[in-house]
Amino acid sequence: MSNDSTKKMVTVALGVCLVCSILVSTAAVALNARQEKNKESDKIKNILIAGELMQEGIDVKAVFDSKVQPEIVNLQSGEFLPESDYNAKLDPATFNVKVMADDPDYGTAIPADKDLARIRRMPKYMTIYIVKVNDQAEKYILPIYGKGLWSTLYGFLALNSDLQTIEGITFYEHGETPGLGGEVDNPRWKEIWKGKQVFRENGEVGITVIKGQVDPDDPDAQYEVDGLSGSTLTTRGLDAMVKFWLGDSGYGPFIRGHRIQKEEINEQG
């Protein structure tokens, strides 16, 4: 067979393709564990950022382990799940929002009229992260997720121990356009959230991501966050997502229960 015969060229091309595909699949399998580990470490970093515990050069895992206490919340009752009820799936160390939302036992479909965040399914339990100082809860870091324009955004909303004042927001995974919806990662925009109030006096969720900029003289300014410019659809998604997770289908029962408990403790003390 001569070197430029069609058969030989096709055989060589197929051979090269086969070798390359074996190399790529081997690399993908070999790197999968490392990618998962990196994703987990990125998530932990974002929990620390939301809780304002992140600094250059720190040992992320050590700070997380010493200052942050994960707890599993039953979203319907709003109560913490006792450790004695943890199992292979319900374990803060391995809790994965996406896996739990799809789980036939631990996930649930969201009725369309309640699905503000457009996520269709959600876990019945969520792992939340409590920043403790001298054994007292200082901040509650709540996982949130919902649809933007192109993607589902996954992040954390940090509330002060009053469960009313926002301490921070971060997103560790999304596919919005850099410079547009991707501005959710812009530290200046994230800064705007700090100090905003979540619930109105009547108990309704007040926090709103508006289109445009907040007028500081507006009496509602304490509940309002600037939208992302040129990104109305991501902005709407963010607004719907925070309303969903702070509402009755999300952390509403947990937040109400904890605020009542705190008021009772304060009254007794």
Binding site for ligand FMN (CB under 6 A): 149-150, 176-177, 180-181, 230-234
Task: State which residue, 139 or 243, has the beta carbon closest to ligand FMN.
Answer: 243
Task: State which residue, 96 or 152, has the beta carbon closest to ligand FMN.
Answer: 152
d(CA 253, CA 247): 8
Phi first, then psi, for residue 141 (nearest 5°) are -105, 115
Task: State which residue, 111 or 178, has the beta carbon closest to ligand FMN.
Answer: 178
Q: How far is the CB of 122 from ligand FMN (least distance, A)?
A: 23
Exposed, middle or buried by CB within 10 Å (0-12, 13-18, 19+), for 156? buried
DSSP state of 113: G
The answer to whether the CB of 221 falls within 8 A of the CB of 232 is no
d(CA 161, CA 73): 16
Nearest residue (beta carbon) to ligand FMN: 181
- Which tokens go with 91? 């374990």
Q: How far is the CB of 212 from ligand FMN (least distance, A)?
A: 9
Q: How far is the CB of 176 from ligand FMN (least distance, A)?
A: 4
Task: State which residue, 179 or 195, has the beta carbon closest to ligand FMN.
Answer: 179
The answer to whether the CB of 164 falls within 8 A of the CB of 206 is no
Q: How far is the CB of 261 from ligand FMN (least distance, A)?
A: 39
Task: State which residue, 100 or 228, has the beta carbon closest to ligand FMN.
Answer: 228
Q: How far is the CB of 40 from ligand FMN (least distance, A)?
A: 26
d(CA 250, CA 239): 14
